[in-house]
Structures are given as C-alpha cells and as structure tokens.
C-alpha cells in the first residue's frame, strides 16, 4: 500500500508547542515517525523555521532526520503563484502561503496540512486554489488541518 505524502507548513511544526494545537501537531509528527505518512516540507518552510524559536527549529531538525522530502522552489511553482495572484486568491503579502500550496500542487503530494485557517485551510480559498490548479492541468490538492489527518490518539477519543 502506498504511503501518503503529506506536506506540512510551518504552522504545524510550531503547533507542536502551542497548547491549542499540540495534541494534533504532535500526533501528526508521531504518524511520520512510525511511517503512517511520508513527511514533505519545502525551502519555504526551512526559511520560515530559521526565524522561529529554538524549540521549533529543533523539532524541524528532528523531522528532517525522518527522511523528510524537501521541495525546492522552481519555475512551475512560481508560475502557479503568479496564477493565484492573477486570480486574486490572496494578496501579495501572503506569497509564502501561496508558495506552500503551489509547491505541494506541483509535487503532487497527497495532502497539504496547515493550521492557517485564514489563508489555507478555508473552504472558499481551497476551492479557488483548486480551480486554478485544474485550469492549469494540475490535480486537486487536498487541504486539511492536522486534527483532520492524524491517526494518532483516535483511540483515546481526541
């Protein structure tokens, strides 16, 4: 059975240390550790983590030791970000959010996971991103929060 490739943005790593999100972010990290999912990040995540607190950087380093796939920013992803901007899905100030989605789309990951409910995990935005993806010949990108994806803790009622 194919292991699903799950792209996580920086919010998921930071969520490991936030009382509101820790159960599910750490649950997803556990899923990566036991091989339930294959972790995928990008150069964007690496740049954002570089400015994060030590605990977040250490968690990211531990994640990379799991043979995490790291996506590089290329022309196809940049072209897709331009298309998202032309369709006015998000403003230019949210370029990194669009880059996360574009990189995951171009790499054909199975799921993108984020705690960003303002710009990423939001029904209307997901529909607009996928409309552009479809228009340009890409497959639909599944976008969820860690709470919806992690298998860890389900037996405990979390």
Q: What is the pLDDT of residue 157?
A: 44
Query: How many folded domains does the chain comprise?
Result: 1
- Residue 144: which domain range? 4-156
**Window from 5-9, 114-118, 149-153, 154-158 with minimum mean pLDDT:** 154-158
* pLDDT digit string, tens, across residues 26-47: 999 999 999 999 999 999 999 9
- Residue 118's CATH number: 3.40.50.1010
Sorted by sequence, the CB contacts under 8 Å of residue 59 that are 6+ apart come out as 13, 16, 17, 29
d(CA 158, CA 154): 6
Q: What is the pLDDT of residue 152?
A: 76
* pLDDT digit string, tens, across residues 93-152: 999 999 999 999 999 999 999 999 999 999 999 999 999 999 999 999 999 999 999 987
């Amino acid at each position: 059975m194919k292991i699903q490739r799950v792209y996580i943005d920086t919010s998921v790593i930071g969520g490991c240390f936030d009382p509101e999100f820790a159960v599910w972010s750490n649950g997803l990290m556990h899923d990566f550790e036991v091989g339930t999912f294959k972790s995928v990040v990008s150069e964007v995540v690496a740049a954002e983590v570089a400015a994060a607190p030590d605990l977040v950087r250490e968690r990211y380093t531990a994640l990379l030791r799991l043979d995490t796939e790291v996506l590089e920013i290329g022309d196809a992803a940049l072209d897709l970000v331009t298309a998202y901007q032309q369709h006015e899905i998000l403003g230019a100030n949210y370029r990194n959010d669009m880059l996360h989605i574009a990189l995951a789309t171009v790499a054909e990951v199975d799921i993108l996971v984020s705690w960003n409910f303002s710009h990423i995990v939001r029904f209307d935005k997901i529909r607009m991103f996928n409309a552009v993806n479809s228009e340009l010949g890409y497959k639909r990108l599944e976008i969820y929060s860690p709470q919806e994806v992690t298998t860890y803790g389900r037996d405990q009622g979390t």
